[in-house]
Structure 1
Amino acid sequence: MKSAVETLNPTRVRLSIEVPFEELKDSLDAAYKKINQQVTVKGFRKGKIPARVIDQRFGRGAVLEEAVNDALPKFYTEAVNEAELNVLGQPEVDITELKDGETLNFTAEVDVRPTIEIPDYSGIEVEVDAVEVGEEDIDKAVEELRERFASTAPVERAAEDGDVVTLDLEAKVDGEVLEDGVASGVSYTIGSGELLDGIDDAVKGLEAGGEATFASELKGGSAAGKESEVTVKVSQVAKRELPELDDDFAQLASEFDTLEELRADSRKRLENMKQYDQATQAQERVLEKLLELVEVPVPEKLLEDEINTRKHNLEHHQLGQMGLDLEKYLEIQGKTAEEFDAETKEAAVKGIKTQFVLDELVNKEKLNVNQEELTEHLMRRAASSNMSPDQFAQAVVEGGQVPMLVGEVARGKALAVVVEAATVKDTNGEVVDLDDDEDEDETSTEASAESSAEGSTEESPEAAPAPEKTEA
């Protein structure tokens, strides 16, 4: 077999492959054997039909087509490996010449990873928010904790903002009561916005036993997005009572003996949260600066696949779980279809560029992923997927996704190398030391790399995809 590579553009090549006919022998034998098992010829036992009879009865062309389709993936893969190409996706194959007994010539056009030059990134500088926790932040955190320990007491008066009311609901669309539009004993805090639009105005001013009807667009269920007539009946009105902010509350709501100790712990927790957010912000901004420094051509077919994957995941997974379609989602977001398409393309381009650049950094810095790092990453991914580590690991192995997880960890490590070399200052002009909490920084770095590259449809470059069947 002979092969030659022609570069069509920075992300696409054409392979021209010549195969001597004798190298098709194994595939021809397999073709005759396969046809033998599929057809019946009078006078011959199944599986024992001579090759010349198959040629006469079914045509030599059918045999050649079967043999070529069997052989193409092997010869294509050999040519890819010989040329040391990092291919992406399926090739477009064209048989240019097939002479029975003489030769098989074909071409294969395929996308490849572009050659990327990583420049000196040590001069990257970014600015992040300063870690500042004021008394008002602590007041808010303690007040939220206080809200969680609120109690309710029934009152004999009209419902007001902040009251907890017990409701019976019935929703009608076009005069018909919906099967899933009836609910009893629903507890609702007036003003929380957790139920239907318009319900606050409907129940305020009602006492126990009071009833009202209002129009509202349903947010979920079988008639999601439709205008409905909702009847609401109040069975109880209760006033929320907050505990006093004192040492007794601290002992009730925490492991601390005094309110002062509780507030000090709240400050520490808020500082830790803001430090984590600061580290994530630094990594995202360093990544953006890095991408600005590198010229990364994006393969058109890969970009098209990436855009389609992102749209599919949004429509059939995320929106489906919320009972929305794309049209309703765009209406809620206040976006046109054109704006949505532009944003999706921009995100897809960034995701592909991020993978290419960080993968090149992995090679340049000779970064490896050990078993402990992979296990820690798997545990985090399992937690975010609401699966046990064992369930997630089994799904990853069965789906052949282990290389994908290894790539995620490696890209996270590559981004960490760049962040470490960058200068990060807060809005007060102070240099930020991101090494204070190495474990949290590593976690957020991986998250930044994953979110930027999320949804990538890129094929692994380590195994050349086989071409699809082609008519001989």
Structure 2
Amino acid sequence: MKSAVETLSPTRAKLTVEVPFEELKPSLDKAYKTIAQQINVPGFRRGKVPPAVIDRQVGRGAVLDQAINEVVPQKYVEALQANDLQPLAQPEIEVTKFEDNDALEFTAEVDVKPEITLPSYDGVTAEVDDVELSDEDVEEQVQNLRERFATLIDVERPAADGDFVVMDLKATQDGEPVEGAEVSGMSYRVGRGGMLDGLDEALVGMAAGDEKVFTSQLVGGDLVGEGVDVAVAVSQVQEQELPELDDEFAEMASEFDTVAELTEDVRERLGRGRRLEQAAAARDAVLEALLEKVSVPLPETIVTDELNARRSSFEQQLSYAGLTMEKYLEDEGQTQDEFEADLERRVRDAVTAQFLLDEIARVEEFGIDQQELSEHMVRRAQQSGQDPQEFANHMFEHNHVPELVQEILRGKALARIVEAAVVKDASGNVLDLKNLRPDGTIGEPEDEAEEGVEADADAADGSSEQEKAEA
């Protein structure tokens, strides 16, 4: 087999492949055997029909076509490997020359991974905001904890912001009930929002036994976005009674004996969470800084496919939230063109980042083992709320494992450049990202660990390379 490659663009190549007729003979013999099993010819047992008879009964052309259909994909893959091309999509194949007992020639146009000249990623600099944690933040979390243990007390007064009401809702359009737009005995916190426009305003001032009608728009169903009349009837008004913030509450709501200990633990956990948020911002900042140093040509078909996929996913999320694209754009103060431009920019950055991380993983010769793959599958299953075994079975059955492997390798590549970077906060402090653990604490550097620490300490505290990248 001979092959030649023509570069049509930095991201598209055309292969011309010539296959001698002798290399088609195994597939030709296989085609004859397959057809012999499929036809009935008087005087011959099924599967024992000679090729010459098949040529007369079925036609030599049908046999050649079947042989070519088997050979072309095989030779296409061999040509890719011979020319060191990495395809990104299905090829456009055309048989350009073929005659019986003569060579087969075909071409294949395909999007290929672009060549990337990696910039130096040791010492990339980036800056992120300081970790900010105020007393008000801590108090808010403690207040949320108190609300979890609060009780509701019936009150004989009109509802105010923050009260709970038990209510019935019924929507009508042109005097006719709207199917599926009716609820009874629903508990709702006044001022919470996110249900129906105008509901909170209508509830304020209503007492038990009051009824009111207001206009709104449905957020779900076939009439989503259409105007309706909503009748609300309140049967109870309840006030939230919080437990006293004392040591007794601390013992009941946590493992701590005093409010001071509970508050300090809340502060510590919030601090770790803010540190992880800062690390995520650092990761993005480092990657963005590296992307500014490299120019990567992008296959337009890949960009278009990703744009369509993200747009469809976003519209689906809006639908689940009971919003239309028009309503979303209105709320965001954004035009359709501005939305599309922003989406395309983010898609191009994401695709560029993938190519860049793939190249870093290749240059660094990263690999993965079975344990890393298993742990990654478990995390992915947990994120999607699926059973880990069912998730793993689905990945194997639908051949998605290579995608998971690529995710892990990209995570390692990202961890490599982040750990090699110099990231400072707004106050000028250098962040210790290399030793940041998944729980937001800072571990000891490996080369300064105390004697007696086992070699697999990272495995014990769960700080794998991928988890550091995700942190």
Identify the TM-score tier after normalising by the shorter chain. 0.7 to 0.9
Other-structure match for 1:428: 427
Other-structure match for 1:113: 113
Superposed counterparts of 1:331-370, under 5 Å: 333-370=332-369
Contact 1:88 1:113 survives alignment (8 Å): yes
Tell me the CA shift for residue 310 of structure 1.
2.4
Tell me the CA shift for residue 38 of structure 1.
5.1
Other-structure match for 2:261: 261
> Which one-letter code corresponds to 1:76 in the other structure?
Y
- The unaligned stretches of length 5 or more in structure 1 are 449-472
Instruction: State the Cα deviation string for residues 405-434 of structure 1 (Å, max 9, x = none).
Output: 222122111111111111111111111112
CA 1:321 to 1:199, structure 2 compared with 1: closer, same or farther past 3 Å?
closer
Q: Report the more deviating stretch, 318-327 or 344-353.
A: 318-327
Other-structure match for 1:459: none
Instruction: State the Cα deviation string for residues 307-327 of structure 1 (Å, max 9, x = none).
Output: 2332343345x3454455655
CA 1:447 to 1:108, structure 2 compared with 1: closer, same or farther past 3 Å?
same
Between the aligned partners of 1:392 and 1:28, the Cα distance in structure 2 is: 41
Between the aligned partners of 2:342 and 2:468, the Cα distance in structure 1 is: 24
TM-score (norm: length of structure 2): 0.87
Contact 1:173 1:226 survives alignment (8 Å): no
CA 1:341 to 1:43, structure 2 compared with 1: closer, same or farther past 3 Å?
farther
The one of the two structures with greater contact order (alpha-carbon pairs below 8 A, sep at least 6) is 1
Between the aligned partners of 1:116 and 1:66, the Cα distance in structure 2 is: 40
Between the aligned partners of 1:19 and 1:73, the Cα distance in structure 2 is: 12
Contact 1:131 1:275 survives alignment (8 Å): yes
CA 1:194 to 1:352, structure 2 compared with 1: closer, same or farther past 3 Å?
closer
Between the aligned partners of 1:125 and 1:20, the Cα distance in structure 2 is: 56
Between the aligned partners of 1:29 and 1:372, the Cα distance in structure 2 is: 44
> Which one-letter code corresponds to 1:295 in the other structure?
S
Other-structure match for 1:171: 171
Tell me the CA shift for residue 167 of structure 1.
0.2
What SS is found at the alignment partner of 1:113?
A: coil
CA 1:231 to 1:8, structure 2 compared with 1: closer, same or farther past 3 Å?
same
Between the aligned partners of 2:306 and 2:210, the Cα distance in structure 1 is: 54
Contact 1:119 1:293 survives alignment (8 Å): yes
Other-structure match for 1:144: 144
Contact 2:131 2:278 survives alignment (8 Å): yes
Tell me the CA shift for residue 362 of structure 1.
1.2
> Which one-letter code corresponds to 1:188 in the other structure?
Y
Tell me the CA shift for residue 226 of structure 1.
2.1
Other-structure match for 1:270: 270
Other-structure match for 1:399: 398
Between the aligned partners of 2:255 and 2:244, the Cα distance in structure 1 is: 17
What SS is found at the alignment partner of 1:88?
A: coil
Contact 1:165 1:190 survives alignment (8 Å): yes
Contact 1:283 1:445 survives alignment (8 Å): no
Other-structure match for 1:135: 135
What SS is found at the alignment partner of 1:168?
A: strand
Tell me the CA shift for residue 337 of structure 1.
3.5
Tell me the CA shift for residue 44 of structure 1.
6.8
Contact 1:206 1:234 survives alignment (8 Å): yes
CA 1:223 to 1:82, structure 2 compared with 1: closer, same or farther past 3 Å?
same
What SS is found at the alignment partner of 1:15?
A: strand
Corresponding position: 1:70 with 2:75 = no
Tell me the CA shift for residue 59 of structure 1.
4.5
Contact 2:5 2:15 survives alignment (8 Å): yes
> Which one-letter code corresponds to 1:354 in the other structure?
A
Tell me the CA shift for residue 340 of structure 1.
3.2
Tell me the CA shift for residue 123 of structure 1.
3.1
How many matched pairs?
A: 447
> Which one-letter code corresponds to 1:421 in the other structure?
A
Other-structure match for 1:85: 85
Tell me the CA shift for residue 186 of structure 1.
0.4
What SS is found at the alignment partner of 2:396?
A: helix
Between the aligned partners of 1:438 and 1:259, the Cα distance in structure 2 is: 28
Other-structure match for 2:199: 199
> Which one-letter code corresponds to 2:358 in the other structure?
D
TM-score (norm: length of structure 1): 0.87
Instruction: State the Cα deviation string for residues 224-257 of structure 1 (Å, max 9, x = none).
Output: 2222211111111112222233323323322222
Between the aligned partners of 2:432 and 2:243, the Cα distance in structure 1 is: 40
> Which one-letter code corresponds to 2:218 in the other structure?
L
Between the aligned partners of 2:371 and 2:437, the Cα distance in structure 1 is: 15
Corresponding position: 1:279 with 2:279 = yes
Instruction: State the Cα deviation string for residues 331-378 of structure 1 (Å, max 9, x = none).
Output: 554444333332332222222211211111112222222333333322
Instruction: State the Cα deviation string for residues 388-412 of structure 1 (Å, max 9, x = none).
Output: 3222222222222222222212211
Other-structure match for 2:300: 300
Between the aligned partners of 1:221 and 1:56, the Cα distance in structure 2 is: 63
Tell me the CA shift for residue 168 of structure 1.
0.9
